[in-house]
Structure 1
Amino acid sequence: MCLSKWKTFFLFLSLFIVQGVMATDCACELTSGEKPFPKDKLLSMETSAVACNQKIQSAKVSEEASLRLGLHKRLLQLQDEVSVLEQEDDGGLYGAVSLRIIELELAEILQLINRLNTTHNMHLSLSTNVTATVQQLTEELKQLEEFDQMQIIQKLEENKGLQRSLAQCHEELQATPPPPTLPPGTCPRRRLAQVNGPSTYTITEYGTSYYYGSWGQDPQPGPGRENWYWLVALTSSDVFANYVLLYRSFSALVAGVDSMVISISNDNPTTNTIQGPNVVMYGDALYYGCYNTPSVCRFNVTSREITTAALPANTGINNKFPFCHLGACYVYTDLDLMTDDSGVWVAYASEESYGNVMLSQVESGDVPKLGRTLKTSLHKRTATNTFMACGVLYATRYVDKETEEVFYSFDTRTGVERYDLDISFKKMQTNIQSLNYNPSDHRLYAYANAYAISYDVIFE
């Protein structure tokens, strides 16, 4: 009896649970914090874009160009007919007929002009409307980009940028390769082709105080000075100097720090004072024009020893044969010291050469002396600077405030002279007071109105 009661109770309980579960609905409310995507707005923009594209079909755009071309041809035809009428001499027999034809031509041309004006005005209105539509569509597209949670548009733009970079790389690979870079110290033994740059352009630590001077690197430096730079500024009246500055790097020269000041003499000027801006350094020694003397001085920066090589007795000094252009002369540039792969050269002029450039090689030794001497037909006052490269003397001249030109060459091996080089390069300052070629890095070092500038030299 008790067992049957418990069975009845459990049966009733199970029915109650099943009915309760079946009677209750299971629902879940989803709330999104994102705005719904404006599909209707996108469709509207697409419709506007299609309509805008239809307004600027190529046939409509080319209509004005066709009218212009037709008008041009009719005007040329009318010009020919008027010329024929002017040349006719028929006693007035056909003149009236020709004038009537020209009158009809003018009427048709006027119709073309009116049609062209109408078309042009229509295109102006069309352009204004299309511009406004495009601007509106652009703004609406930017608003739609907010719904791009997966950053698809950003990725597409990045892909387009990569494609443009890849196309540019292909163009660069297919382009003409640049001239090969020459190893340091080599001489190509070919003619100068280009002067590129400037590669460097900086003021020195003196600021703009001293307009005359020179700078560069030693082609044959002493041990540990391979990367050093030297600077000589004419600190006395743009004429004299009595010391040279050595910098451990180009950045040190730019900043005016970490320099070594080496005095040549305590007084200025004296017999050994630097005179003129055309100074070079070669083999750990400074070569320059001696003060008030037709001689080349050599100052060893390590031993502080000074030796000299005498020039011919009538060599011009003290502004007798300086470099010049039509506007002015560069004072005390009678002697021009130069370097190339073979060593040191000096250009000068004398009364015996009638002011034409003489070129001598300065031979090294315990005491320097002049070696091979060559005569040229280049009058020194017609040039602004000279420099040596691979045994060839080059001369420059002033073109304008922004341009200098290498116009002359003299080959010391063959004696061949040329006046037709026409190699222009950009100036950063109006005047270049000194210019020298360095065979170790194939650069021209210029000192221009207190600025230190360098150029890359390209040979054929």
Structure 2
Amino acid sequence: MRALFVVLKPLCFLALLGYCPSATVRPKEGWQVYSSAQDADGRCICTVVAPEQSLCSRDAKSRQLRQLLEKIQNMSQSIEVLNLRTQRDFQYVMKMESQMKGLRSKFRQIESNRRTLLTKNFQELKGKMNDLQPLIPVLEQYKTDATLISQFKLEIRNLSLVLTAIQEEIGAYDYEELQQRVLGLEGRLRNCMNKLTCGKLMKITGPITVKTSGTRFGAWMTDPQASPKNNKVWYMDSYTNNKIVREYKSVSDFVAGIESRTYNLPFHWAGTNHVVYNGSLYYNKYQSNIIVRYSFESGRVTTQRALESAGFHNVYPYTWGGFSDIDLMADELGLWAIYATNQNAGNIVISQLDPLTIQVLNSWNTEYSKRNAGESFMICGTLYITNSHLTGAKVYYSYSTKTSTYEYMDIPIHNQYFHMSMLDYNARDRALYGWNNGHQVLFNVTLFHIIETDDES
């Protein structure tokens, strides 16, 4: 196995920014996929080097190749005629060259014995020889030109054979077969891109302000498990004394304020750290450590379970308060709960949850105080914690559930509106959703990827 290292900046958000995962891989059949870090606006650019779309049009491509082949054949015929004429003239010139060399040799003999010759005859012979002398380098160049023409003829013949083979290959496939090949390659391309789901956080840029609405505190989200065609947005204003969830069919409807449906939950929520995952809303029931799972499809609570030993009702909140004791979130690896317990001295506990039963599958105790954390989010099984909810905040600490190790970091996050009351990662959009003092914002993340491939070359 060979590891390829890629830095990717995937700010891809539904209809607003488009979906653009990318990778540096080496798939077969000549397809290559590359990614650049970002464009001038900080968004991901994906470049795919693949066969042109016009290749799917057999008639147009065949016509172009046929015209090119005819031109080369015409050139080849012209060179053939030129070559025959050149060979004929060349034989004559070779005879002439031989005679000139013989004449020069005889002249030298005569010159050495010029005392025995009449002066007049000698001068005439010398003059004729001087006239013929410049022809010798001309003949040498002519031989070189003749050689080049022969080489050119051979190259044209080889190129003609290559083009004929290409024309035969294209003619071997009909339009439908080419379409199937293209679809197959596109499927492989998507599979390659899906390998980019996990990586280590390197940088946060933005935010992009999507909308300004509601109170200072709240939450908004999309479902990371939804299909690409499902771009619903859910909106939950305030951190308490509210049970109304507003649904929008798309981001554009959300921006325009066009609601598609409202849900009246059976219990008030606490805090702003809710999550929608696989069609259900998970939230902390007010004045309790109970997690509620509410199905949007059925419009009822399907599961509720207490999170054992978890502090609640501002016992262990984030720095801004707001009953933010229990933070529910999702990433590429599943559903998580972030909270603190007396047993862990008020430090953060990470628990992975079963989405159906809300049972704790596994837990990790960190050494970072929940009350000193501004916000937190999970990416690929690693918890990232900010040191404040105010201006100057940065990602200061991370804990990997894979290795059960922590790391201190220094990744700034621009708190544009001075008060962050919600910050959550969406694995499908690969962006951070934030509620920033009554502004619904998105942050771009830069992830460092390690992709394992089977390519040994």
TM-score bucket of the superposed structures, by smaller chain: 0.5 to 0.7
> How many angstroms does 1:341 deviate by?
0.9
For residues 79-126 of structure 1, give each alpha carbon's deviation from its aligned partner in whole angstroms, at most 9, with x where no partner exists: xxxxxxxxxxxxxxxxxxxxxxxxxxxxxxxxxxxxxxxxxxxxxxxx
One-letter identity of the residue aligned with 1:251: S
DSSP 3-state at the match of 1:252: helix
DSSP 3-state at the match of 1:458: strand
Q: Does the Cα contact within 8 Å between 1:186 and 1:440 map onto a contact in 2?
A: no
DSSP 3-state at the match of 1:240: coil
One-letter identity of the residue aligned with 2:355: S
Distance 1:399 1:217, change over 3 A: closer
Per the alignment, residue 310 of structure 1 pairs with 306
Distance 1:186 1:257, change over 3 A: farther
Per the alignment, residue 263 of structure 2 pairs with 262
* CA distance, structure 2, for counterparts of residue 198 and residue 404 of structure 1: 13
* CA distance, structure 1, for counterparts of residue 216 and residue 252 of structure 2: 21
> Does the alignment pair 1:229 with 2:233?
yes
> How many angstroms does 1:190 deviate by?
2.7
> How many angstroms does 1:353 deviate by?
0.8
Normalising by structure 1, we get a TM-score of: 0.54
Per the alignment, residue 384 of structure 1 pairs with 374
Per the alignment, residue 418 of structure 2 pairs with 430
Gaps (5+ residues) in structure 2?
A: 1-34, 39-43, 47-189, 449-457
* CA distance, structure 2, for counterparts of residue 321 and residue 406 of structure 1: 19
Match of 1:218 among 215, 223, 226: 223
> How many angstroms does 1:331 deviate by?
1.7
Per the alignment, residue 355 of structure 1 pairs with 346
Distance 1:284 1:188, change over 3 A: closer
Per the alignment, residue 247 of structure 1 pairs with 248
* CA distance, structure 2, for counterparts of residue 260 and residue 277 of structure 1: 20
Per the alignment, residue 413 of structure 1 pairs with 402
> Does the alignment pair 1:443 with 2:431?
yes
One-letter identity of the residue aligned with 2:394: E
Gaps (5+ residues) in structure 1?
A: 1-175, 266-271
Per the alignment, residue 331 of structure 2 pairs with 340
> How many angstroms does 1:187 deviate by?
4.9
Distance 1:317 1:181, change over 3 A: farther
Per the alignment, residue 197 of structure 1 pairs with 206
Distance 1:348 1:185, change over 3 A: farther
> How many angstroms does 1:255 deviate by?
1.8
Per the alignment, residue 386 of structure 2 pairs with 396
> How many angstroms does 1:290 deviate by?
1.2
CA-atom RMSD in angstroms: 2.2
DSSP 3-state at the match of 2:208: strand
Q: Does the Cα contact within 8 Å between 1:185 and 1:439 map onto a contact in 2?
A: no
One-letter identity of the residue aligned with 1:444: L
* CA distance, structure 1, for counterparts of residue 390 and residue 272 of structure 2: 22
* CA distance, structure 2, for counterparts of residue 432 and residue 399 of structure 1: 5
Q: Does the Cα contact within 8 Å between 2:197 and 2:427 map onto a contact in 1?
A: no
Q: Does the Cα contact within 8 Å between 1:280 and 1:287 map onto a contact in 2?
A: yes
One-letter identity of the residue aligned with 2:420: I
Distance 1:425 1:338, change over 3 A: same
> How many angstroms does 1:241 deviate by?
2.1
Distance 1:428 1:259, change over 3 A: farther
Q: Does the Cα contact within 8 Å between 2:197 and 2:332 map onto a contact in 1?
A: no
Q: Does the Cα contact within 8 Å between 1:187 and 1:439 map onto a contact in 2?
A: no
Q: Higher RCO, 1 or 2 (CA under 8 Å, sep at least 6)?
A: 2
> How many angstroms does 1:201 deviate by?
3.6
Per the alignment, residue 284 of structure 2 pairs with 289
Distance 1:247 1:295, change over 3 A: same
One-letter identity of the residue aligned with 1:193: M
Q: Does the Cα contact within 8 Å between 1:186 and 1:341 map onto a contact in 2?
A: no
Distance 1:417 1:233, change over 3 A: same
Distance 1:185 1:217, change over 3 A: farther
* CA distance, structure 1, for counterparts of residue 195 and residue 444 of structure 2: 15
Q: Does the Cα contact within 8 Å between 1:288 and 1:296 map onto a contact in 2?
A: yes
Q: Does the Cα contact within 8 Å between 2:340 and 2:348 map onto a contact in 1?
A: yes
* CA distance, structure 2, for counterparts of residue 343 and residue 284 of structure 1: 14
* CA distance, structure 2, for counterparts of residue 436 and residue 252 of structure 1: 21
Q: Does the Cα contact within 8 Å between 1:309 and 1:370 map onto a contact in 2?
A: no
> How many angstroms does 1:399 deviate by?
7.9
Distance 1:372 1:404, change over 3 A: same
> Does the alignment pair 1:178 with 2:169?
no
Distance 1:301 1:439, change over 3 A: same
For residues 332-384 of structure 1, give each alpha carbon's deviation from its aligned partner in whole angstroms, at most 9, with x where no partner exists: 0000011101221010001111100011111022x321211111111111111
DSSP 3-state at the match of 2:252: helix
For residues 395-425 of structure 1, give each alpha carbon's deviation from its aligned partner in whole angstroms, at most 9, with x where no partner exists: 0122853x32111100001011012x11102
> How many angstroms does 1:245 deviate by?
1.1
One-letter identity of the residue aligned with 1:246: E
> How many angstroms does 1:225 deviate by?
6.1
Per the alignment, residue 5 of structure 1 pairs with none
Q: Does the Cα contact within 8 Å between 2:198 and 2:332 map onto a contact in 1?
A: no
Per the alignment, residue 360 of structure 2 pairs with 370
* CA distance, structure 2, for counterparts of residue 252 and residue 399 of structure 1: 29
Per the alignment, residue 447 of structure 2 pairs with 459
Q: Does the Cα contact within 8 Å between 2:389 and 2:419 map onto a contact in 1?
A: no
* CA distance, structure 2, for counterparts of residue 217 and residue 379 of structure 1: 29
Q: How many residues align?
A: 263
Normalising by structure 2, we get a TM-score of: 0.54
* CA distance, structure 2, for counterparts of residue 341 and residue 393 of structure 1: 12
